[in-house]
Structure 1
Amino acid sequence: MTDKSVPTLYEWLGGIEALQRLTTRFYEHVKADPVLESVFAHMGGDHPAHVAAFLAEVLGGPDAYSRQHGGHAHMIRQHLHRHLEQAQRRRWVELLLQTADELAMPDDPEFRSALVGYLEWGSRLAVINSQPGATADADAPMPKWGWGEVKGPYTG
């Protein structure tokens, strides 16, 4: 049973507007980053909004990403055959957290611990799914990240 008096991570960070500001600014930084620019060189203009919707759903917000884009399986397919490396993954996480600081997003330890936990988990999964032979499970459930509890495709 969920305690309705405890906000979701999505609510705590300010909802979709805050996530859209975060991803928009983050991908502006990515375009100028020597480690990441080549990974996202062909990124469409709607990419930041898609990532914001994905993060919103993972962090307890509306299920717009699943309804409009196909959920976690779709996100996995976006990483297939991209051959991502650990250095790129680490820089992605580092730059996203720097951007969160730049935008004065919540920096309390509980929230940041949960956010970093998801970013580490999700980015490591992206690297795994980008390697040769990886496939996307069409039934992969959308991960749900909360205050110290996780429900996702590999957590039960």
Structure 2
Amino acid sequence: MMNTPENTLYIRMGGEATLQKLVTLFYDKVAKHPDLAPIFPDDLTLTAEKQYKFLSQFFGGPPLYSQEYGHPMLRARHLPFEITPTRAKAWLACMHETLDQMELDKQVKDEMLSRFTTTAYHMMNTPE
């Protein structure tokens, strides 16, 4: 399916409200995950805000992250954190569980998971 400004994944997923819910549910899981919590701050407020802004543009919505922080440079920004294959899988498991909680069209969910999977494995920077 070709994305047009009216048909981006951001729009098809439900836009701002859906993305806010996704980020909230997701970081509730991250905060409790034994493999992920050690590399995240205790207060996830700013992290969740940045994730929301990034995902907005990642899925074709407003470029909120770039407007505030410049180019995302995902890999470079994640280099200070030890992202192992186990952590990438844990991150994806939390996201998969979050998406399962959301009332999303299966095609939209599958498209989101595909993009998350590619990105999560691209962020790995440390062997086990």
TM-score range, shorter chain: 0.7 to 0.9
- Greater C-alpha Rg: 1
- The percent identity for this pair of structures is 23
Gaps of 5+ in 2: none
Task: Give runs of ≥4 in structure 1 deviating > 4 Å.
Answer: 2-6
- Asked if 2 retains the 8 angstrom alpha-carbon contact of 1:76 and 1:126, the reply is yes
Matches within 5 A, 1:82-101: 82-101=81-100
Distance 1:5 1:65 in 2: 18
Residue 3 and residue 32 in structure 1: after superposition, are their counterparts in 2 closer, same or farther (change >3 A)? closer
1:38 Cα deviation (Å)? Answer: 0.8
2:120 equivalent in structure 1: 123
1:134 equivalent in structure 2: none
Distance 1:27 1:98 in 2: 11
How well do the aligned residues superpose, as a CA RMSD in angstroms?
2.2
Distance 2:19 2:71 in 1: 18
Matches within 5 A, 1:44-123: 44-73=44-73, 75-104=74-103, 106-108=104-106, 110-123=107-120
**TM-score, normalisation: structure 2:** 0.85
Q: Deviations over 1:27-69 (max 9, x none)?
A: 1111111121112135542211211111110111111111111
- Report the AA paired with residue 122 of structure 2: L
Gaps of 5+ in 1: 132-156
Distance 1:47 1:38 in 2: 14
- Asked if 2 retains the 8 angstrom alpha-carbon contact of 1:20 and 1:49, the reply is no
Higher helix share: 2
Distance 1:67 1:5 in 2: 18
Residue 43 and residue 80 in structure 1: after superposition, are their counterparts in 2 closer, same or farther (change >3 A)? farther
**TM-score, normalisation: structure 1:** 0.71
